[in-house]
Structures are given as structure tokens and as C-alpha cells.
Amino acid sequence: MQLINGTEIATQVIEECKRDIAALAAAGKVPGLAVVLVGDDPASRAYVRSKDRKCKELGLHSVKLELPATTTQDELLQVVRDLNNDPAIHGILVQSPPPKHIDEAAIVRAIDPAKDVDGFHPINVAKLAIEDSSGFVPCTPLGCQRLLIAAGVETSGANVVVVGRSMIVGKPMAMLLMAKGKGGDATVTVAHSRTKDLAAICQRADIIIAAIGRPEFITAEHVREGAVVIDVGINRVEAPGTEKGYKLVGDVKFDEVAPKCRAITPVPGGVGPMTIAMLMSNTIKACRQASA
């Protein structure tokens, strides 16, 4: 069984980013990322902090805007418009989820698609569907595809089951895997909460991508011998007696699934580190495309 080391592969992506940043710097360009956080959700705050830290570590221009939970829709739209017009900013990300009174879809649509490094704007969703490589692909599925390529997993002709159909992970993952070319050309099945007999469908998969949001949901009965499993899930479960009182587990019951696998990602240390690395990569791409 091969443990797919996301931390190590993310480091390779970051090294590539450093080379790209140096090349841009030689041409007098510094990629800029703005991350907007509305409210004080502790998990979101931690994500925003780590994105800002990674930008600074790479020498990117980083703007972190922390707005109060009382920020109105109009105020947030104005912040987005200002960032759209700021030539030093190439990527804009509004941390999800915003407070309930914010219409998130309207905010995403207000972001300039050329700066939408999260890949959530309808223009970028369409570009993924029509295989236009100038678009931005959501960072987590892009990271999963990169993990498969780096681990030497052949996707061409493979039967892949993606469990989950969210716009953030499941749907773009399926589109990436069915696209033509490297890391694609797969035969993709997308499963969700209405899927009948999920275990039987997963059993036919050469590759399973689990993006469900339910701790340890995928068990040995879902996985055939020799399958590859990518676990996107990040779930906090109580762990009495530990310092934090909780631990992070994936959507896959690792201990019983791993022995059946040809390759599998751990949680933490699998998909997680890739997401932020791909965000840096998308920001550099946005800068390069803006300068072209």
C-alpha cells in the first residue's frame, strides 16, 4: 500500500510556485492575493491566517481583510469591486461560509472572473466544462488531480467514483477527471445522498474520491482490493483525553480501508495541504494572465 503524501507533493507545488514567482519578479511583477473574511468563525479565521502566511512566505503581495459579522451585502460588494479595480491584486477570495444574511452566490458573481482564483464564478465553471485552460479550477479538486498524477495513478480509462456533488469539490472533480488529457480521460460516476447501493457502485471503482463531509463514512465494504482512495473529508470528532479534545478524521475509515488499497491519502497530510498550494498556483496564473 502506497501512502500518498500530500505534504510532500504540496511542497513540490510550492517549489514550482517559487520558480514562477522569481520569473515574474524578473519582469517586475508580484502576484497579489486578497482574502476577505466576514465574521469571526474560528475555522475560517484559521484558514485565512494560513493563506496569508503562505503568501508572505512566498513573497506574494497579500491583503487580508477581516470585516465584522455585521457587514452588509452592499458593503461587501463594494469591497469586491474595489479589489476588482486594484491592479496590485490578481486573486480575490471571499472565505466561505459568510454570515447568513450575505448572498454568497451574488458575491461570487461580483468577483472579476479573471481574479476568481477559487474558480467559483459561473464563467470559470463554464470554462472547466468546455475545457478552456484559461479558466480557474477550484483548488481542492485541482489538488486531488495533482496528487493522482504525482503518485503515478493512471486515470485514463479508469473507473472513478466521486462521492459528493458539491460545487466546491464533487462536481469540478468529476469534470476534471472526465476532461481530455493528463489526469483525465476517466470514466466517471458521481454519487450523492440519493444514490442507491453506494457500496456496490464504489466496489466497481479503480479510484474513489470521497468528498462527503461524514466522518469515516467509506468503509472496507465500499472498496475493492487494489483501489486508489483520495479522502477529501476533514471532520472534527471528539477525542476525549487529547489536548484539544478533538481530532481530525476523513470521510474514509482509514484503518480498515488502507490495507485493501493500492494507494490512499491520509487525513491530515493528504488533500488538505494541496488546497492552499493550488491557491498559490492559481494566483500566479492569474498574475501571469493579467500581464500577458
List residues near ligand NDP by CB under 6 A. 140, 163-166, 168-170, 191-195, 198, 211-214, 232-235, 251, 271-272, 275
CB closer to ligand NDP out of 89 and 142? 142
**Residue 2 falls in the annotated catalytic set:** no
DSSP 218: B
- Please report how close the Cβ of residue 68 comes to ligand NDP at its closest, in angstroms: 25
Q: Which helix (H) or strand (E) holds 207?
A: strand 207-210
Task: Give the nearest distance from C-beta 267 to ligand NDP in angstroms.
Answer: 8
18 is catalytic: no
| 195 vs 37: CA distance, rounded Å | 35
Looking at the chain, list the stretches that DSSP marks H as alpha helix, in order from N- to C-terminal side.
Answer: 6-26, 42-58, 73-84, 104-110, 122-129, 139-150, 170-178, 198-203, 254-257, 271-291
**Do the Cβ atoms of 193 and 209 come closer than 8 Å?**
no
Q: Residue of minimal CB distance from ligand NDP?
A: 166
Catalytic entry in 20, 112, 116, 118: 118
95 is catalytic: yes
| Residue found by looking up cell 500566479 in the block | 284
Q: How far is the CB of 266 from ligand NDP (least distance, A)?
A: 12
- State the catalytic residue, choosing from 51, 127, 171, 253: 51
In this complex, which beta carbon is closest to ligand NDP, that of residue 113 or of residue 170? 170
Give whichever of 208 and 287 is closer to ligand NDP, judged by the CB atom: 208
Least distance in angstroms from the C-beta of 148 to ligand NDP: 15
Total Cβ atoms within 10 A of residue 106 = 12
Closer residue to ligand NDP, CB minimum distance, 148 or 234: 234
| Beta carbon of residue 236, minimum distance to ligand NDP (angstroms, whole number) | 9
The one-character DSSP state at 251 is S
DSSP letters for 70-114: T--HHHHHHHHHHHHT-TT--EEEEPSSPPTTS-HHHHHHHS-GG
* Closer to ligand NDP by Cβ: residue 50 or 78: 50
Catalytic residue among 20, 54, 95, 231: 95
Cis, bond preceding 87 (omega within 30 deg of 0): no
Residue 165 per-residue DSSP state: -
Of residues 79 and 191, the one with the C-beta less far from ligand NDP:
191
Any idea which residue has 475493492 for its cell?
A: 224
H or E element at residue 36: strand 32-38
Report in angstroms how near the CB of residue 110 gets to ligand NDP at its nearest.
21
Question: Up-side HSE of residue 193: CA atoms within 13 Å toward CB?
Answer: 4
Catalytically active residues are 51, 95, 118
